[in-house]
Structure 1
Amino acid sequence: MCRAATRFCAMRGWAPVHEMPLPNGRRADILALRPDGCFVVVEVKSCARDFLTDAKWPEYRDYCDRLFFAVDLDFPQELLPDDAGLLVADGADAALLREAPEHKLAPARRRALLHRYAVVAAGRLAALSDPASHAELRAALRVE
């Protein structure tokens, strides 16, 4: 489902980052930056139990302009809140069943989130291009 949701984002020109740490200590499954500068959180739910036992997802709203759930075809969609978007994954693809309502981020929060997004994304790209250096840096930071 995560791959399908990522592909959904990419097909729309959004730039998704997986497992994005948020300032409140939570970690969004996917935080995507849209071409218009808005942020989207996609929360992936593997089953009803995953949704019912997760009380953290409302805290993601403070860090996005739109919130979506991504589920598979068998997920009982009536469990999901109406005030969030809905993506349904089928294999490697996802379809938009419900658009997410917009709740605009405050400009200062958007700026701070954009900075965090850029630092995380650039760090992950640097780690891919030079894994040995990245490992050395992480080890050095743990020692200090």
Structure 2
Amino acid sequence: MMLPNNAQHSGNRTFKHDTPPNGTPSVVANVCKRSVSFNKLDRQSTQTIPLCMVHELQAGQILARGVQRLLHEMNFASITEFIPTRGLRVDVMAITPKGEIWIVECKSSRTDFASDNKWQGYLDWCDKFFFAIPPDFSTDILPTEYGLIFADSYGGAIHRPSSLTTLNAARRKKIALNFARCAAQRLHQQIDPRI
């Protein structure tokens, strides 16, 4: 499996586990390694995530993890399983340094995409919308007007950019406030799980 030549990786950091448990180099990690550069601070901040965690995650969560690593390298703040409004729950939502709202919908298979009838509802809640898929996913069934990210549990690469649709100010403020509250509450629960 190879990523298309025009897939892009914008980060300059990597994680210690760039090889899947079976020893075969990650398809996305191979792309990521092309632009890796370290300095002393990078080496000190490199994170180690136990490989056993990968096996406990569902397919969509594995993609979300790789997407979040990509977004982190782009200096975006992201969270998973965010509810922008009643009845909708996005796989990954991110806020860029410029304040743009991105939504990434993770699709692990053709069946996963075909059975989802809610993703169109996410379009009203973001500036940019992406699908994230594994490298062996056939892209012919995906709409071409939205962004596309190839991902696995070790990272991600933007294959096709998304067009910008600017949110109105009131909705952007509501999303940013809910995003901040959700992130703070999750952090608090990690610090004090008994709350």
The TM-score normalised by the length of structure 1 is 0.89
Task: Report the Cα offset of residue 22 of structure 1.
Answer: 1.4
Instruction: Find the counterpart in structure 1 of residue 30 from structure 2.
Output: none
Q: Deviations over 1:22-55 (max 9, x none)?
A: 1142000000011001110010001000001101
Instruction: Find the counterpart in structure 2 of residue 45 from structure 1.
Output: 107
Instruction: Find the counterpart in structure 1 of residue 126 from structure 2.
Output: 64
Question: Cα RMSD (Å) of the superposition?
Answer: 1.0
Instruction: Find the counterpart in structure 1 of residue 49 from structure 2.
Output: none
Percent of residue pairs bearing the same amino acid type? 35
Instruction: Find the counterpart in structure 1 of residue 26 from structure 2.
Output: none
Counterpart mapping for 1:118-133 below 5 A:
118-132=180-194
Larger helix proportion, structure 1 or 2?
Answer: 1
Any gaps of 5 or more consecutive residues in structure 2? 1-62
Q: Give the secondary-structure state (helix, strand or coil) at the position aligned to 1:131.
A: coil
Letter in 1 for 2:170: A
Instruction: Find the counterpart in structure 2 of residue 14 from structure 1.
Output: 76
Larger strand proportion, structure 1 or 2?
Answer: 1
Instruction: Find the counterpart in structure 2 of residue 2 from structure 1.
Output: 64
- Paired residues in the alignment total 133
Task: Report the Cα offset of residue 12 of structure 1.
Answer: 0.2
Residue 34 in structure 1 maps to residue 87 in structure 2? no
Q: Could you list the runs of 4 or more consecutive aligned residues of structure 1 that deviate by over 2 angstroms after TM superposition?
A: none
* Cα pair distance change 1:64/1:79, threshold 3 Å: same
One of 146, 167, 173 as aligned partner of 1:111: 173
Task: Report the Cα offset of residue 91 of structure 1.
Answer: 4.7
Residue 86 in structure 1 maps to residue 148 in structure 2? yes
One of 140, 144, 164 as aligned partner of 1:102: 164
Q: Give the secondary-structure state (helix, strand or coil) at the position aligned to 2:187.
A: helix
Select the structure with the greater relative contact order (CA < 8 A; seq sep ≥ 6): 2
Q: Deviations over 1:91-142 (max 9, x none)?
A: 512111100111010000000111111111110011111111x2xxxxxxxx
Any gaps of 5 or more consecutive residues in structure 1? 135-144
